[in-house]
Amino acid sequence: MPTSFLLPRWMQRTISRFFQYLILSVIVVIIVVPVVMLVFAALKTRGEVMSHPYTPPIPVHWENLQLILGGPVFWGMLRNSLIVMLVVTVGVVVLCSLAAFVFARMDFRGKGLLFNLFTVGLMLPIPVAILPVYLVIRRMDQLGVPVLDNLLGIMLVQIAFALSGNIMILRSFFTAIPGELQDAAYIDGCTAFDFFWRILLPLARPALASVAALTMIVSWNDLLVPLVVLNNDKLWTLPLGTMQFQGQYGQDLSLVSAFVALSAIPTIIFYLLAERQIVSGLTAGAIKG
């Protein structure tokens, strides 16, 4: 390149850094501006959103937020989402680590076949399977298992569809733990369960945290399963509730914006706290799965 003859190295470096930051800043603006516009609209009155929608909200109007936080609807949805998320996360972590342990560390006839069965799940995402799953849920409900219009139904489906990917992640993590450790434990008289419980799980804590963080995000953001399983508005989760809220108050842009902004806050807080776990879970899942 001709510039390399004309300019000293440090100057080249500064110029390239400048363009680097310029491009990255443009992308930051594209990411942040839509979110900021939402927050602006949330902090204005309905009239202000109509008359000057793009200016910063000065003075700040908290009325919309107070209205939403003062009523029971938002808190109910938040509670439902939290319950589902916590149960699903515990379920996924427990079931997947148990199964992954067997696939990584024990031998039995038909292991390969069973493992391949679980890989089918990777090729069957929820949006593809939603009608088939709904039909099973409905049938179970008719048979007396309370899963339709019930948070239990959402939990079971979300856990079931999280199994394949997370078993793969944990299995590859468990496989990477040296076999000598297992031999030593068995020689010292550990049972398979002892080894799993006292040695493997403590060592796998970072992987378990990643699986948990990832599962939380997926469950928290899921719209489709609650949409087909739930009818009763007392049980609505946040994504479903946000969608219905918009349908009901669609005309009042500032109120809807406030609702959407409030429903985004828990996710963003959680993301900032658990970014490392989410990121490592995602990359592990993508590369191993």
> Binding to other proteins (CB under 8 A): which residues in 206-225?
217, 220-221, 223-224
Instruction: Please tell me whether residue 163 binds other proteins under the rule CB under 8 A.
Output: yes
Instruction: Please tell me whether residue 131 binds other proteins under the rule CB under 8 A.
Output: yes
Residue 286 corresponds to which tokens in the numbers above?
A: 């993508």
Identify the residue among 60, 69, 181, 243 touching other proteins (CB under 8 A). 243
| Nearer CB in complex with other proteins: 127/144 | 127
Supply the minimum distance, in Å, between the C-beta of residue 33 and other proteins.
Answer: 8
**Which residue, 205, 233, 237, is CA-closest to 220?**
237
Instruction: Please tell me whether residue 263 binds other proteins under the rule CB under 8 A.
Output: yes
> Binding to other proteins (CB under 8 A): which residues in 56-85?
none
Residue 255 corresponds to which tokens in the numbers above?
A: 């109120």
Instruction: Please tell me whether residue 5 binds other proteins under the rule CB under 8 A.
Output: no
Stretch that binds other proteins, among 56-64, 65-73, 113-121, 200-208 (CB under 8 A): 113-121
Stretch that binds other proteins, among 61-69, 70-78, 160-168, 198-206 (CB under 8 A): 160-168
Instruction: Please tell me whether residue 150 binds other proteins under the rule CB under 8 A.
Output: no
Instruction: Please tell me whether residue 200 binds other proteins under the rule CB under 8 A.
Output: no
Stretch that binds other proteins, among 23-31, 62-70, 82-90, 203-211 (CB under 8 A): 23-31
| Nearer CB in complex with other proteins: 23/67 | 23
| Nearer CB in complex with other proteins: 83/129 | 129
Identify the residue among 47, 120, 180, 232 touching other proteins (CB under 8 A). 120
Sign of the four-CA dihedral 59, 43, 216, 30: negative
